[in-house]
Structure 1
Amino acid sequence: MKSTYTFDQALELYQEMLTVEKNVSEHTLESYSRDIKKLAHYLSNDKITVDTVSLEDLRGFVASLFDHNLSSRSTARIISSCRGFFQFLVLEGQRDDNPAKQLEMPKHQAGLPKILSIEDVNQLIQTAHADLSPEGLRLTALLEILYATGLRVSELISLPFSLFRDAPDMLLIRGKGNKERYVPIGHYALDALHTYLKVRDVFIYGTKTHQYLFPSRGLSGHLTRQRFGQLLKELALKSGLAPEKLSPHVIRHAFATHLLHNGADLISIQKMLGHSDLATTQIYTHVLKDKLIEAVTTFHPLAQYKKKP
């Protein structure tokens, strides 16, 4: 079947479908688009069009990803993006088949989260609190809220300002797949937030940014994930920590790990993190191996029996 679309035209229509019908997040849309653009660039040298792409072409593309040392997890995501893109073309009547359906997914093991100790987090927070400039107060609020709630970075930076008008002790978060969940927020985070709100107007540019808690002059109207990540790495340097050890996601890991370490149950952590599958949350049990072993040797009846002379 001869397609009437170029890669660029097909991608534009695919993006429109994802936005209107699937209601995917801006970050997810960017990831899908970037993946398909990589494929288009790879195929452009051989003048392959959307309707002539074969399974062998796609296998060559996947092999090129490994040649560039792309991780198996990232490669799997790109394959998934390709499957969705070509299935869209089938539904649009631009192809008879979906060649990406037969691509083999690379095997990978879930990596253990990078670990920040409670002392590390305390050092970061103390260093952040020492900066009383508007930028420092904003970073303190971001850090305190992130560590208090375990939000995804995309959820944190796009928090609506209206959510905090009544000093809530619970936040209604709209996360992945537009699913809603309630997350408690502690008084330390609220105190940092109230201090930041006194200087928030410094970051407001135009009318669009008024709706966000952390406004910015960028196209999105709020602070970007990239800028927040950069600010955290700068904070790590000031705190005497390795910058490569710190990212918004690492703080989210610290939130979950420290809760589990102090006795919180996995189900509660799962709900706060917004994980749809408990298996995703269970990865945090691996970083508490020593504590689990200690619990068994201390409290198991047989362990107690063997201790007796």
Structure 2
Amino acid sequence: MNFDYLREAFVEYLQVEKNASPYTVKFYQDDLDTFFLFLKEEGIDHVKDVDYAVIRVFLTNQYQKNLSRRSVSRKLSSLRTFYRFLEREEKVESNPFLQVSQPKMSKSIPDFLYEEEIEKLFHISDLSTPLGQRNQAILELLYATGMRVSECANVKLAHLDFMIGTVLVRGKGNKERYIPFGRYAQDALERYIQDGRRKLLKHTTDYSESLFLNARGTTLSTRGFRLVLNKIVKDAALTVHVHPHKLRHTFATHLLNAGADLRSVQELLGHKNLSATQIYTHVSKDHLRNIYKNSHPRA
């Protein structure tokens, strides 16, 4: 069977029917390529010939490459979805991946920044320069809203409402949600939009509706966001590793530690299931435990 044809058909299904983001589609493509290469090496020419035994060999093959349980779990999810698509298209009679359980995952507590650490980051950017104003606005907005970097990269000027202090965010599956932001983020955004962004636009003849621009005046990529954050952390001389998603973890943790309810945090983060948000309660419980130990006379 032509694996390339199936791959293209599946990608089209993800893009058109599932409205998957380019980032998600790429992960599916990579997982399919890995699986198809394995099938060719094993001399398996048809997706119908894949059964439980073949899948077990595939999993063993992946673990031998020192892949983490999380990576293997993602590949299994991708292939389970792929075979569900094949079933629908009547390319196979059943989904063999339904017989395989996901690897047990160790529940790790999300890494986050303490208030003193994140406070240092807000005093680094040179607010007299366009890029410094942009970087400060990025940092303030990410921490104020907890949005994903991919979501932040897609924010347009029109998505901001300064009258009520909200931003329209398009998340996974193109689902929309409104997230409020506070005075610090609003001040940083207004400064950047009225000054720095206008100056950056002078570097190009093509007007961009994107909120955040690079030095050439065009849309800042998700990779650009990471480079910006890395520079801020380096200039702040922090010894901790800070990645964009860590600001999302920090946002959720600080809200829960301050007494926000789990459902509200779930809505702000754009989580489909409450279980995805509950992982942050572990951090919150640790925080409360420390307060108890330090405050109770007989702790």
TM-score, normalization: structure 1?
Answer: 0.84
SS at match of 2:178: strand
Output aligned runs, 1:8-157, within 5 Å.
8-51=4-47, 52-128=49-125, 130=126, 132-157=128-153
Work out which of the residue numbers 208, 211, 236 in structure 1 matches 2:209: 211
Return the offset for 1:194: 1.8
CA deviation after TM superposition for structure 1 residue 117, in Å: 0.8
- Cα distance in 2, alignment partners of residues 280 and 83 from structure 1: 21
> Contact conserved, 1:205 with 1:216, CA < 8 A, in 2?
no
Structure 2 residue identity aligned to 1:233? N
Query: What is aligned with 2:265?
Result: 269
Which digits, 9 at most, give the CA deviation of each residue in 1:108-146, with x for residues without a partner? 022111121111111111113x36433322221111100
CA deviation string 1:60-91 (max 9, x = no partner): 22222222222212211110100111221222
Q: Measure, in 2, the Cα distance between the counterparts of 1:298 and 1:273.
A: 31
Helix, strand or coil for the counterpart of 2:73?
A: helix
Deviations 1:156-207 (A, max 9, x none): 1111221137555122322223333221111211111122222325267565
Contact preservation (8 Å) 1:161, 1:210: no
Alpha carbons 2:55, 2:97 under 8 Å: kept: yes
- 1:287 alignment partner in structure 2: 283
TM-score by length of structure 2 reads 0.86
Return the letter of the residue paired with 1:212: S
Once the two structures are TM-superposed, the CA of residue 45 in structure 1 deviates from its matched residue by 2.6
State whether residues 208 and 219 of structure 2, in contact with CA within 8 Å, keep that contact through their aligned partners in structure 1. no
| Counterpart in the other structure of 2:191 | 195
**Inter-CA distance 206–94: structure 2 relative to 1 (3 Å threshold):** farther
Q: Could you list the per-position Cα deviations for residues 80-108 of structure 1 after superposition, in whole angstroms to 9, with x for gaps in the alignment?
A: 10011122122222223322222231000
> What amino acid sits opposite 1:210 in the alignment?
S
Q: State the alpha-carbon separation in 1 of the partners of residues 294 and 236 from structure 2.
A: 36
Secondary structure, in 3 states, of the residue corresponding to 1:10?
helix
In 1, are the aligned partners of 2:160 and 2:168 still within 8 Å (CA)? no
Which residue number in structure 1 is paired with residue 179 of structure 2?
183
In the TM superposition, residue 298 of structure 1 has moved relative to its aligned partner by 9.3
1:127 counterpart letter in structure 2? I
Unmatched 5+ stretches in structure 2? none
- Which residues of structure 1 form unaligned runs of 5+? none
- Identity rate of aligned residues, in percent? 37
**For the residues of structure 1 that align with 2:24 and 2:71, how far apart are their CA atoms?**
13
Q: CA deviation at 1:50?
A: 4.0
